[in-house]
Amino acid sequence: MGELIKRYSNYIEAGCDEVGRGCLSGPVVAAAVIIDENFEQNLINDSKKLNFKTRIELDSYIKDNVKSYAIAELPPSYIDEHNILNSSIHAMHAALDKLTIRPEFILVDGNKFHPYNFIPHQCIIKGDSKVLAIAAASILAKNYRDLLMIDLHKEFPEYGWQKNFGYATKQHQQALIDHGPTIHHRKSFRLKYD
């Protein structure tokens, strides 16, 4: 694993990422992280490349050692009304709103973002595997959402959310056919039959 870029500029940088765009159920969750220039953690990488146990262990370390972090979620009803791309960006804006330090530059995973409070930003494709602050944000967002879906599984066990986390697995799609949608499902999303 190559070393992630710690700084892109001399400004106070916030890294942003979201999780849950491709799911049939659950919220879209975003995190924003401002790291200290002395922040060191060699295990941090794109959350998709880390197993659940490692991500959970890194969660506390990130929260205890960054300058500021925030997590925000938007529910399925919001996603249905505003579409998933806009909802993902609005969730990132909501996370930025909650930071205790105002960033001077925003680094965003992906290729789409709406201007935020006149603060310059840069979109970075695969930023969660290139930039430390974005990777840290990806871990916080994924942990938050995965734990939320595991908790919701207790109320709706037939959908298998403790394993699929709301993504469109065959089991999840079959459960939707058998049981119909819950309040946590996105009504605007369609099943993906093989």
pLDDT the model gives residue 103: 97
d(CA 71, CA 47): 15
pLDDT the model gives residue 5: 84
pTM comes to 0.94
Kindly report the number of other CB atoms within 10 A of residue 117's CB atom: 10
Distances (CA, A) of 127 to 19, 111, 157, 193: 13, 10, 34, 31
Task: Give the CATH superfamily of 13-179.
Answer: Ribonuclease H-like superfamily/Ribonuclease H (3.30.420.10)
DSSP run (H or E) holding 173: helix 170-179
For the ranges 41-50, 73-82, 125-134, which has the lowest average pLDDT?
41-50
Does residue 174 have a pLDDT over 90? yes
Task: Please choose, from the candidates 141, 127, 135, the residue with its C-alpha nearest in 3D space to the C-alpha of residue 71.
Answer: 141
Q: Is the dihedral of CA 72, 74, 6, 8 positive or negative?
A: negative
| pLDDT grade for 1, boundaries at 50, 70 and 90 | very low
Does residue 194 have a pLDDT over 60? no
Does residue 160 have a pLDDT over 90? yes
Mean pLDDT value across the chain: 93
What is the identity of the amino acid at 87? S
Report pLDDT digits (tens) over 50-88.
888 999 999 999 999 999 999 999 999 999 999 999 999
Q: Give the mean model confidence (pLDDT) for residues 104-117.
A: 97
The token duo for 5 is 């870029």
Report pLDDT digits (tens) over 175-185.
999 999 999 99
Task: Please choose, from the candidates 39, 31, 37, the residue with its C-alpha nearest in 3D space to the C-alpha of residue 15.
Answer: 31
149 near 134, Cβ under 8 Å? Answer: no
Does residue 193 have a pLDDT over 80? no
145 near 27, Cβ under 8 Å? Answer: yes
Which residue has better confidence, 3 or 111?
111
Does residue 10 have a pLDDT over 60? yes
Kindly report the number of other CB atoms within 10 A of residue 128's CB atom: 29
d(CA 40, CA 45): 12
